[in-house]
Each structure stands twice: as C-alpha cells, then as structure tokens.
Amino acid sequence: MKPEGNAMAGASSMPARHKRRHKRHDLLSLIRHHKKSVDMPAGTIAADQEAAPTSVRTVSYDAAALHEHDGVAPSQLATLRNASDVLWIDVTGLRDTRTIEEVGAAFGIHKLTLEDITNTHQRPKVETFDHYVFIVMKMLDHSDAGLTEQMAIIVGDDYLITFQERPGDCFDATRARLKRVGGQLRSEGPDRLAHALIDAVIDNFFPLLENYGELIENLEDLVVSQPEPSHVERLHAIKRDLLEIRRAVWPTRELVNALIRDEHHLFCDSTRIYLRDCYDHAIQLMDIVETYREIASGLLDVYLSSMSARMNEIMKVLTIIATIFIPLSFFAGIWGMNFENMPELKEPWAYPAALAFMATIAGGLLVYFRRKGWLGERAPRKAE
C-alpha cells in the first residue's frame, strides 16, 4: 500500500527536527511523570495544561450515507451512534480530561484505559476487553512539536474512537476512502477502519526513512571527502531520531501480530488477513531502521578514520618541513656566530656560497623524501 499524502510533508520538514530534542521520550521526563502520579490511585486521569485543547470530531457512515460533525459534545454521541452502522469519534488534544471521561463513560471505557490514553508515555500495545479492543501506537507528529506522538484506538462493535495528542494526522487518504460511495471501507465494520488507520500510521514512516536515507548518503560523501566536526553532530541527531523511530515501530510489530494471533469477536478473519500486510510493512520498517543505524554508526568510524588520516598528513608535512630546516638552522647558527677568526667571514663569495650550500641540502632532502615515498608517490622504476 502507498503511504498517506501527509507523510511527505512530515518527511520534508524532517531536517529541522534534527535540532530538536524529543522530550516526550526523554528518560528524565518519564521519571518525573511517574513521580507526580505515584500517590494517585489507579485509574486517575491527570490533567496536563501543556496539552493541546480538546476537540471532538465524528464521522458516521454506512454503505448508503456518510455524515461529518465538528465540535461534537459527548452528550450527542449516543444519538449519532444510533443513526448509522459505524461511528468514528476522533478526539484531538488531551487537555480537557472531563470531555475524555465523558466520552469514555458514553461507551463504557474502563478508567485504566482512559488513564493510559492521557499518559502519553505509553509503549505501543494492544489490550482486549469484553466489549472493546484498546490499541496504543506511535505515529509521526505533524505539528512540528516532536518526531512522534501517541495515538490511541478503541474498537467497539459499532464504533471506533481515536485519541490524538495534537492536531494533524496521516488519515486524509482514509477519510477520502470513506467518502467514496461504493467503497469497500464504507460497507465493512469498525475493525476494517481500524486496519486502515493502523496501515496509514505504519506506511507514513516510509517517506521519512527515505529522507533519512538521502541524508545519510550525502553525509557519507562529505565524511570521506570533507570531514568536519559538524558532521558528527548531524550523525548523532540522525541516530537519535532513528532510535525513537525504532522505539515506535518495534512494539507496533508486536501489537499487529497480537491482533492477528489473538481471536476476538471484534476482529473478523478477513480483517486479520489485511493485518498481515501491516505486519510485513512493520518488519520492513525495522529492517530499514536497523540498516540506517548501522550505516550511521559506521560513518562515525569513517569520520574518525578520515580525521586521523588527515591529521597524519598534516603532521607528515610539518615533520618534513621541520626536518628540512633542522640542518639549515644548524649551519645558519654556526655562520651567525661572527667570531673574529672564522674562515671565509670577509670573503665576497661567502654569503652566496652559504645560501647555495643550504639550498643544496634542502633540495637533497626533498629528493630523498620523494624517493622514500614520504612526499607524494614514489616515482616508478623504469623497466630494464
């Protein structure tokens, strides 16, 4: 399947992300979050004033009709649910915990699930309940706030709820497929829509990794030909971003495999067949990420080797220059003592003779270094 269109925009802005530090995956940030919630009972939803404002958007559809609504209140969800076969509730922003709790109460969502939704440090996973399946993923952030953001999916018998940290996603192509009359997605249940969203999240990483591949290829040429300290910083930034992508993709492969392996009445067998394609794409992403990480690590070694070779060349030139001037300085020091009885001190040819003598010594050393191969390449011998 082809990646969603918005993925290219995320990939094109990727070089600017190298200068940012992705705080949501920072270990210290995670520790601080757990320290704040250590005294709270399980299932408590902690408000985050730095989170994006909360908005609710719905798409209700069946094979014959589709309706979209923005700014929906949680009290209206029951009416919209009864008016169509499938209801997709898209909640963007996690600041308003009351709205999130009301949405969860309308569909009987467990408090621990709601806590995991608002706690954006979750590892990608899948949890099955009696009447819904809870999925947590990491998708590319389209708001330039970081590299990835958490997205949660709740799949019910006739509804699907998505929770995103910030506005902007990779689901435009999926929404366009839903609007297409007679499309396969319109005639199937929420499990098929869940597959479409999971597939969009996974495929959205491919354009980004393609961009990283071009960056690494360009750096490879620069590291060999023109090594600079700034290249090390760029390589470390690439490795840091690839590590974050790995943390997002590796468990995603496990959760897709769990959806395929574990039987649940909310996911039919035909949907599991399509999920196999998502599993293959996740494996491909892991192979690409691991390959790029190895190349980036290798480029660091190449950089160090290039800088060492460059330093050796510089030291060799300086050593040759110093070696040439050592005998010249010796003779210049002797002739510069100006003793009264020094021979040739008052001869008119003494000064040019001294210069010629020193020039001969310098030229002889250059020829000697050249023949030894210490100064450029050794001249090839003529065949006898």
Return averaged pLDDT per consecutive 10 residues of the chain, 384 residues in all: 41 41 46 52 72 93 91 91 92 92 94 91 91 94 82 95 93 92 89 96 94 90 81 88 92 93 89 94 95 89 80 83 85 76 75 84 85 67 48
The pLDDT of residue 41 is 65
Q: Tokens 């060349």 sit at which residue?
A: 313
56: exposed, middle or buried (Cβ count in 10 Å: 0-12, 13-18, 19+): buried
CATH code of the region 6-305: 3.30.460.20
Closest C-alpha among 242, 255, 246, 241 to residue 197: 255
The pLDDT of residue 347 is 76
- Measured between alpha carbons, how far is 223 from 242 in angstroms, rounded to an integer? 19
C-alpha angle with apex 228: 222 to 231, nearest 5 degrees? 65
The pLDDT of residue 15 is 42
Q: Could you give the residue ranges of the DSSP H alpha helices within the chain?
A: 6-12, 14-17, 27-37, 77-82, 97-106, 111-118, 172-179, 190-203, 205-225, 229-261, 269-335, 350-372
